[in-house]
Structure 1
């Protein structure tokens, strides 16, 4: 993809992104391709994943789609091993995640708890577990895990989500400490509420979705919610050599919410 007179930050690198069929994942995939990467788009939403690839192809980028359920450890290893063997693996972006309806801890169904834990913790674990041997062997690599504002704050009525996203941040720090001597960096991006499909699903179950959106935005010093492209910018930065001395960091992208 041509970016005249600009350095492409991920030129000739291979980037694998989970949950890239929509929202932050799709925006990040398109941005990585625009920065010169070969992008491996993965998701369980085949139509959405193919749409992401089509958008990248139409813009002159380089991408492929692989169906991937991040909770299936064997499949995660199969896909990552194949990508690393075929293309090399320079960047892994663990973006796939899920939420749950607002509910007090004692009212959360065990099935919901287990599903959210499986996607948000085990899914990230599986990706890192599969990618790290390849990155260590080649002597370089960047892992970016997508956490949340809930990684650093306990959000009321979001006990399971907050627990899982806090785990993502500390797992990231542990990987940075362990894998740093092998030339591998690990960081997390911690977004505030962002205009994504997940947010729309959350708002749809509120009594007055538009009022809920406005009330949410009012909590932010910038008086608005985040945009997927703003989160993607942070992810691309941490993925690239511009962040070559950044590791073990949780980059909060929340419009100032956590300062209040």
Structure 2
């Protein structure tokens, strides 16, 4: 892999598992020094520094960001990947759950970006990449709360891109389809027929399988790298064609 990110310093929230861990590994392979913010920092990939950070706690976020800036002397890339899932219609979840998921998936992104911006302004090639979802662009059943948060992430990405472009900071997003992650694994395990549920999720994506975490990570690294220097305020769908393609039944 190209070492285009050599000398760069990157933060990946939720970087110790699933898509976040794949992103951390791929950024590191591209030459960046990577710090994984996570509630379980000890699980960070080999060679990636893990720092305990709770994105729902502003003091925790600010301390973690300042640790990175003081330890590495710079900050160039922020990947806002930390998030939690939710199932159900608008009737399913009570107010407390709406506030909890929104606070992590949306306001958590705000806290990390807000703390990082003073350092990103000093970078010669600053980039923020937010993890949104296919749920932001396609109506999925039983995902009302999750969809609301990811739709907010997508809209916020565009607003942030407009606000910070002239400061030299690009802001983009990735929209993964249903990915083969620990969270999806837990959903499958809880289904009455896990094999049938997996087959249904795979069939929903035109390429006929779940998206891999590594495929999402590849899009993130592109958006974070100088190679995408004219790309900002947009989102890359990594969804096997689910958003845009309408294939005839096989």
Give the superposition deviation at 1:258.
0.8
TM-aligned CA deviation for residue 136 of structure 1: 2.0
Q: Tell me, which stretches of 5 or more residues in structure 2 are unaligned?
A: none
1:94 aligns with 80
Q: In proportion to residue count, which structure has more helix? A: 1
Residues 151, 166 of structure 1: 8 Å contact kept: yes
Work out whether residues 179 and 210 of structure 2, in 8 Å CA contact, stay in contact via their aligned partners in 1: yes
Query: 1:173 corresponds to which residue?
Result: 158
For structure 1, which runs of at least 5 residues remain unmatched after alignment?
A: 1-5, 58-62
Distance 2:4 2:125 in 1: 15
TM-score when normalising by structure 1: 0.90
**Matched residues in 2 for 1:204 and 1:110: separation?**
27
Residue in 2 that maps onto 1:31:
26
| 2-structure distance, mates of 1:229, 1:138 | 26
Contact 2:125 2:226 in 1 (8 A): no
Matched residue, 2:168: 183
- CA offset at residue 224 of structure 1? 0.7
2:19 aligned with 1:19, yes or no? no
Checking the alignment, whether the CA contact within 8 Å between 1:188 and 1:249 is kept in structure 2 is yes
**Structure 2: how far apart are the matches of 1:222 and 1:20?**
27
What whole-Å deviation, never above 9, does each CA across 1:137-172 have from its counterpart, x for those lacking one?
Answer: 445410000010012123221111000001111111
Q: For residue 212 of structure 1, give the secondary structure of its aligned residue in structure 2.
A: helix
Shift of 1:77: 1.4
Match of 1:215 among 196, 200, 209: 200
Output the aligned Cα RMSD.
1.3
Q: 4+ runs of 1 displaced by more than 6 Å? A: none
